[in-house]
Amino acid sequence: MERKGKKQRPFRKNTKQFRTNTQKTEELEHGDSSNILLSSLTLDGTDSSSDDESPSYITSAPFDVAMWDMEHCDPRRCTGRKLFRHNLIKKLNLGQRFNGIVLTPIGQKCVSPSDRDIISQYGVAVVDCSWARLEDTPFTKMRTPQPRLLPFLVAANPVKYAKPCELSCVEALAAVFYIAGFQDVSHLYLSKFKWGKHFLELNRTLLDAYSNCTNSGDVVAVQNKHLEELENEREERDRRERQDIYDLSSEETEEEEEEEEEEGGVKIN
């Protein structure tokens, strides 16, 4: 829901270089902004509004956002609990039914733009659990008619930075919002974390591609094409490394042969 409010100070862009050291996690997670200006204030703090325009703000999602909290995570680093403190997410009990989109490993298809109407009506939920304890998590007790998987994306949070698919709760939610066409809500949730904008920076190309798809099948096709390109790049990189090693070895062998020839040609009296 959008509403008009007093003009806020522009979101300040963090000019410090992003640090991936996990010891800085607490420092990074304490940053947030109370509001986000739609259509005129981007996540990186660029204000494109004119003085004549009356700004509009979003302070919450226009649909339900929920989570099942397994309490596996460090409370100081848990993005789900931070969203809860900001009243941006509600908690669900085990066995409680959620009729919206639920991100869960037992999903049978990827989230896609075709889920927009379901999200608008019923919302989105995630499972807040540890990646190391998936086998201990009772996903079958998290009842939903709309289980979904996320396509390939890379984490930007300080704990799992640059790791594929191991997203935090806020990153998973932001990805769903973005893919389904709720980019303003995605920005709002990520703005509660100083590292939040890096998630979009790392995944912008993929998120834009996913959001331009029609259905889950298209999303999977885009994902698989991207993974194939990554594999080709890896193979080419490995091939070049092997070639460099071979060239270096050949040069050393030639030098050794030349030295042996020179020594053999020396006349000894």
35 falls within a domain: no
240 falls within a domain: no
Q: For the chain, how many structural domains are there in total?
A: 1
At residue 40 the predicted structure's pLDDT band, cuts being 50, 70 and 90, is very low
137 falls within a domain: yes
257 falls within a domain: no
Tell me: is residue 140 an annotated ligand-binding position: no
Degrees, nearest 5: CA angle 90-81-130: 110
Tell me: is residue 153 an annotated ligand-binding position: no
Kindly report which listed range (68-82, 184-198, 216-230) carries the lowest average pLDDT score. Answer: 68-82
pTM metric for this prediction: 0.68
Q: Is it the case that residue 16 has pLDDT exceeding 90?
A: no
* Residue 203 or residue 19, greater confidence: 203
Tell me: is residue 102 an annotated ligand-binding position: no
Q: How far apart are CA 176 and CA 132, in angstroms?
A: 23
Q: How far apart are CA 72 and CA 97, in angstroms?
A: 21
At 170, phi and psi to the nearest 5?
Answer: -65, -35
30 falls within a domain: no
10 falls within a domain: no
54 falls within a domain: no
What share of the chain in percent tops pLDDT 90?
Answer: 47
The contacts of residue 58 (CB under 8 Å, 6+ apart) are 1, 2, 35, 36, 38, 184, 185, 188
Residue-number span of the structural domain to which 202 is assigned: 60-223
Residue range 235-263, pLDDT digits in tens:
888 777 777 676 666 666 666 666 666 66
120 falls within a domain: yes
